[in-house]
Chain A
Amino acid sequence: MNKILRTLLALVLGCLLMASAQAALDARVVKQLVDDDSDQKIEAIAALVKTGTPEAARLLQALSDDALYATDSRIWLKADDKVYDAVTGTEITPAPDDVDTVTINNRVRGTLDSALAGFKLFDPDPSARLAAAQSLQGDVGAVMIPALTLALQKETDSKVKPILEQLLAQANLKNPDVKARLAAVEGLTHSNSPNARGLLLTRLDPANEPDAAVREAAKASIASIDSRLAWTSALANVFSGLSLGSILLLAALGLAITYGVMGVINMAHGELLMVGAYSAYFVQGVFRNHFPGAQDWYLVAAVPVSFFAAAFVGMVMERTVIRWLYGRPLETLLATWGVSLVLIQGARTLFGAQNVEVSNPSWMSGGIELLPSLTLPWNRIVIIGFALSVLVLMWAIMQKTRLGLFVRAVTQNRPMAGCVGVPTSRVDTLAFGLGAGIAGLGGLALSQIANVGPDMGQGYIVDSFLVVVLGGVGQLAGAVWAALGLGIATKLLEGWAGAVIAKIIVLAIIIIFIQRRPQGLFAVKGRVMD
């Protein structure tokens, strides 16, 4: 943040509380605000902050929202769908049609954000105060101390208070008083913020920090922060491994039925994922056109659509192609590969060769900030939960329902199952449809994090087979362990060797593993296999 601004901000935050509002702003300052030069803009922002009026706050907010316009003769802003003169603050009707937005760059935006945060530190709404305090975390100077102290005295919210305390400590880092600096360094020991760590690092340099005791304390504080950051970074790695694992699991679960249980080498499995993903796109379109108000919930509606669309495609495949090839795995491989090409081309004809846009609903955007250095994105969390529920659902179907019983019976001993009255061919169709439907759910999940396009399935087919084969054919538990293991191993290796090398290492490990243990992690027990 700019130095002049910091000084002024500090002064003003105090004045703000007792400020008597002036209606009009200084025309010269407003003119300066739309100057092309960033230095001029920043000076003008500082001058506006100094007035402390709601008009100034509104003007700055408009600049931040790209809602400030200027021509040679006039400057105006848009707020709440109305247009106001930037200097006098009076409403303009009709709105000028010549729109030339005042542009800002990152440097100005940073200053502006801090200025707006300064205004909001005294907002009656605690969540606005929290956001304001958080956005100030980057860099606070000693001149902010009085304002922060004032804000801290008035602060009652338990979430905002610790952040303000930290900000105060950060501000005190550059306090000319050695004792205050020492206290600040010690106060920051409990911080988890990478920013705080960065600031402490500057205290290690004798050029910045003349006092040896403070340097020592800073070193200790950094060591303490580092040990906690190391822990969080390990946690972050495990989380991203889990999330990759859950994606692999979703991609592979359907295959665990069609290949694992039924023994069909389904090369079109990736395209069943694609069907699920395109279903999500389709439902999103329907919601956009017909229920724009409920747009955020399109994903929930897409769950059954994805399942049944993919299940339908799967059952058609089974009835028309796979049915005639049971027991001839190589021919199934070729035939399903052909089907996959047909499906890819079909998607290309229907939706175009380009990727389509599937957006995260707003409740899946952003993330929870567990610690300042650890943000867990919502889309990943939701997908982990989703994978878990699909897994439970599938386990329940296979173990607790009549259909599951029949599927297991048919795969174990087809003639005997037929003899006792199980409609084997219908069970085959339903089982294949179930596997395909679950692949569709996987595709739905993938649409939230990856690209949706006709070729998307190709990227997952190898991974899916890896998971199923590594886990042990026919084993649900095996697929779970293999997916999570692969996910975590990949992420740990990526952190250390980079994405390209990590992929190679993982494949090499799998080859060696399969050679040593061809039956996979979990061998099938009993006389199940033919």
Chain B
Amino acid sequence: MKRRTALKVITLSTLIAATGFTSNAFAADTIKVGILHSLSGTMAISESALEQTALMTIAEINAQGGVMGKQLEPVVVDPASNWPLFAEKARQLLAKDKVDVVFGCWTSVSRKSVLPVFRELNGLLFYPVQYEGEELEKNVFYTGAAPNQQAIPAVDYLLSKDGGEAKRFVLLGTDYVYPRTTNKILRAYLHTKGIQDSDIMEEYTPFGYSDYQTIIAKIKDFSAQGKKTAVVSTINGDSNVPFYKELGNAGLKATDVPVVAFSVGEEELRGVDTKPLVGELAAWNYFMSVKNPENTKFTKMYRDWAKKQKLPNADTAVTNDPMEATYVGIHMWKQAVEKAHSTDVDKVIAAMGGQTFKAPSGFTLEMDPKNHHLHKPVMIGEVKANGQFNVVWKTKAPVKAQPWSPYIVGNDKKKDEPEAN
């Protein structure tokens, strides 16, 4: 008889736990934070590190006493590089897990697919990756770069004396919204610099593409026309590994045809032999090699974290720009919650404007009072033989983001703040 009662109790409590009763009961003591990054599939190479950074930052905040005396509780989901799944997982985080904020997404297509969910359920998303702009959402804060904080300065650098005074451009990207829109902006910008369509070549490859022979042969041909050529790469995810492998094997050197990448950082280069790639460029708002006390602390924290978590290749753990943006985003959200004395989405959004944070990039970053974008410094780095970057150029101060690029027709009429939905 007793045994039967015990069994009943166990079954009942399991049932309650399974239906989520208990988690609601505990919700008062913690603040739930959603993490929405691909941990598998073609984007995992880039996004897994962001998940780890978010977990690390949450652990750091918890160790310092949490937010408003409450501990943060991470809720991790894996949308598996599958864009529709991003929307489903976002809905799950907001509706079922009732998280107060979500940190996530890398590709623009994943962000676009979760936007309707965040709008509908009035959620809050922090997006940590550089993107093509052309967007301003009340429910999203953009801690990565807009085109004028990455793409345009990078092309300016290529046009400059130190950048090689390029006269022809190859715009090479993965076939989706970010590369296509960025290249549209760049093409319009290059026109204003007197570069004609005949001196611009545009090429796209599918996600996960790995056979870059023909494209590199084409680039070689294109550069043999007597004008200095540069490549602007918006290739995303693990396709970068075969691309750079092929580039190295084909003997196309950075001093002849430099490649500037917008989505390749320290993490993506870990799987590549970087010796033939010395001098290839990347444009970001942060590099691991930047020297300042905040960055020393940040890189050490991540190395220790990687070791503690026994991450694969923990002894070669590196930090990169979107990781820094994730770190800054979580801290700024914490500050906004403390300012608003609430995790209520609308109150936090109101409190976010004007927040500042001393970032690992060595600059004090400010969240724009209106347009939900960070003011960020711009840096150009060159790949060194050890896979790190030398910063060869940087802005003196953070630059204000222009989410609506002035090089796209009709953008001059758009307002620099989100419209009410």
Residues of A within 8 A of B (CB): 38, 66, 101, 103-107, 109-110, 113, 138, 194-195, 197-202, 229, 233, 236-237, 240, 243-244, 247, 348, 351-357, 359-360, 365-367, 369, 373, 375, 377-380, 449-451, 453-455, 459, 491, 494-495, 498-500, 503
- With A455-B40, A455-B41, A499-B204 as given contacts, are A360 and B245 in contact (CB-CB < 8 Å)? yes
- With A66-B385, A451-B210 as given contacts, are A375 and B251 in contact (CB-CB < 8 Å)? yes
In whole angstroms, what is the CA distance A454 to B38 when docked?
A: 14
- On whether the beta carbons of B226 and A373 are closer than 8 Å, the reply is no
- On whether the beta carbons of A354 and B224 are closer than 8 Å, the reply is no
Q: Is B346 an interface residue (CB 8 A)?
A: no
**Most A CB atoms within 10 A — which of B41, B213, B221, B251?**
B213
- With A201-B225, A353-B39 as given contacts, are A109 and B255 in contact (CB-CB < 8 Å)? yes
- On whether the beta carbons of A451 and B251 are closer than 8 Å, the reply is no
- On whether the beta carbons of A499 and B312 are closer than 8 Å, the reply is no
- On whether the beta carbons of B238 and A355 are closer than 8 Å, the reply is yes
The stretch among B7-15, B158-166, B326-334 that forms the contact with chain A is: B158-166
For the A-B complex with A375-B251, A377-B249, A499-B203 known, give 12 more contacts whose Cβ atoms are closer than 8 Å: A38-B161, A109-B254, A194-B223, A353-B39, A365-B248, A365-B273, A375-B250, A450-B242, A454-B40, A455-B40, A499-B209, A500-B206
Q: Which of B148-187 contact A (CB under 8 A)?
A: 161-164, 175
- On whether the beta carbons of A348 and B242 are closer than 8 Å, the reply is no
Provide 7 A-B residue pairs closer than 8 Å at the C-beta atoms, listed in order of the A residue.
A107-B164, A197-B224, A365-B248, A366-B251, A369-B251, A451-B242, A499-B203
Expressed in whole angstroms, the minimum distance between the Cβ of B245 and any Cβ of chain A is 7
Q: Is B322 an interface residue (CB 8 A)?
A: no
Which residues of A are found within 8 Å of B225, using beta-carbon distances?
198, 201
Other-chain residue from A107, A236, A503 in contact with B162 (beta carbon distance below 8 A): A107
Q: Is B358 an interface residue (CB 8 A)?
A: no
In whole angstroms, what is the CA distance A454 to B39 when docked?
A: 11
Minimum CB distance partner of A358 in chain B: B271
Minimum CB distance partner of B230 in chain A: A106
Q: Which of B374-410 contact A (CB under 8 A)?
A: 382, 384-385, 390-393
- On whether the beta carbons of A503 and B206 are closer than 8 Å, the reply is yes
- On whether the beta carbons of B255 and A451 are closer than 8 Å, the reply is no
- On whether the beta carbons of B251 and A354 are closer than 8 Å, the reply is no
Minimum CB distance partner of A455 in chain B: B41
Q: Is B350 an interface residue (CB 8 A)?
A: no
Other-chain residue from A194, A352, A359, A500 in contact with B224 (beta carbon distance below 8 A): A194
In whole angstroms, what is the CA distance A38 to B206 when docked?
A: 39
Which residues of A are found within 8 Å of B224, using beta-carbon distances?
194-195, 197-198, 229, 373
Which residues of B are found within 8 Å of A500, using beta-carbon distances?
175, 204-206
Residues of B within 8 A of A (CB): 39-42, 44-45, 48, 78, 161-164, 175, 203-206, 208-211, 213-215, 217-218, 220-221, 223-227, 238, 241-242, 245-246, 248-251, 254-256, 258, 270-271, 273, 276, 278-279, 281, 312-313, 382, 384-385, 390-393
Which residues of A are found within 8 Å of B271, using beta-carbon distances?
355-357, 451
Which residues of A are found within 8 Å of B175, using beta-carbon distances?
500
Expressed in whole angstroms, the minimum distance between the Cβ of B260 and any Cβ of chain A is 10
In whole angstroms, what is the CA distance A494 to B162 when docked?
A: 34
Expressed in whole angstroms, the minimum distance between the Cβ of B362 and any Cβ of chain A is 15
Which residues of B are found within 8 Å of A110, using beta-carbon distances?
255
Which residues of B are found within 8 Å of A378, using beta-carbon distances?
249
- On whether the beta carbons of B40 and A348 are closer than 8 Å, the reply is yes
In whole angstroms, what is the CA distance A40 to B94 when docked?
A: 57
- On whether the beta carbons of B220 and A373 are closer than 8 Å, the reply is yes
Which residues of A are found within 8 Å of B390, using beta-carbon distances?
101, 103-105
The 9 closest A-B pairs by CB, nearest first: A194-B224, A201-B226, A377-B249, A198-B226, A357-B271, A240-B213, A450-B210, A353-B40, A103-B390
Expressed in whole angstroms, the minimum distance between the Cβ of A192 and any Cβ of chain B is 11
Other-chain residue from B209, B220, B391 in contact with A194 (beta carbon distance below 8 A): B220
- On whether the beta carbons of A354 and B214 are closer than 8 Å, the reply is no
- On whether the beta carbons of B226 and A197 are closer than 8 Å, the reply is yes
Expressed in whole angstroms, the minimum distance between the Cβ of B167 and any Cβ of chain A is 11
- On whether the beta carbons of B392 and A105 are closer than 8 Å, the reply is yes
Which residues of A are found within 8 Å of B393, using beta-carbon distances?
105
Which residues of B are found within 8 Å of A373, using beta-carbon distances?
220-221, 224
Which residues of A are found within 8 Å of B210, using beta-carbon distances?
449-451, 459
Which residues of B are found within 8 Å of A199, using beta-carbon distances?
226
Minimum CB distance partner of B240 in chain A: A451
Expressed in whole angstroms, the minimum distance between the Cβ of B353 and any Cβ of chain A is 36
Minimum CB distance partner of B316 in chain A: A357
- On whether the beta carbons of B312 and A352 are closer than 8 Å, the reply is yes
Expressed in whole angstroms, the minimum distance between the Cβ of A227 and any Cβ of chain B is 14
Other-chain residue from A106, A201, A357, A494 in contact with B279 (beta carbon distance below 8 A): A106
- With A106-B254, A373-B224, A499-B215 as given contacts, are A379 and B249 in contact (CB-CB < 8 Å)? yes
- On whether the beta carbons of A449 and B245 are closer than 8 Å, the reply is yes
Which residues of B are found within 8 Å of A356, using beta-carbon distances?
271, 312
Expressed in whole angstroms, the minimum distance between the Cβ of A250 and any Cβ of chain B is 14
- On whether the beta carbons of A233 and B161 are closer than 8 Å, the reply is no
Other-chain residue from A103, A200, A236, A379 in contact with B217 (beta carbon distance below 8 A): A236
Which residues of B are found within 8 Å of A247, using beta-carbon distances?
211
Minimum CB distance partner of B246 in chain A: A377
In whole angstroms, what is the CA distance A367 to B223 when docked?
A: 20
Expressed in whole angstroms, the minimum distance between the Cβ of A520 and any Cβ of chain B is 24
Which residues of B are found within 8 Å of A66, using beta-carbon distances?
384-385
Which residues of A are found within 8 Å of B258, using beta-carbon distances?
106
In whole angstroms, what is the CA distance A500 to B202 when docked?
A: 12
Which residues of B are found within 8 Å of A454, using beta-carbon distances?
40
Other-chain residue from B161, B211, B279 in contact with A109 (beta carbon distance below 8 A): B279
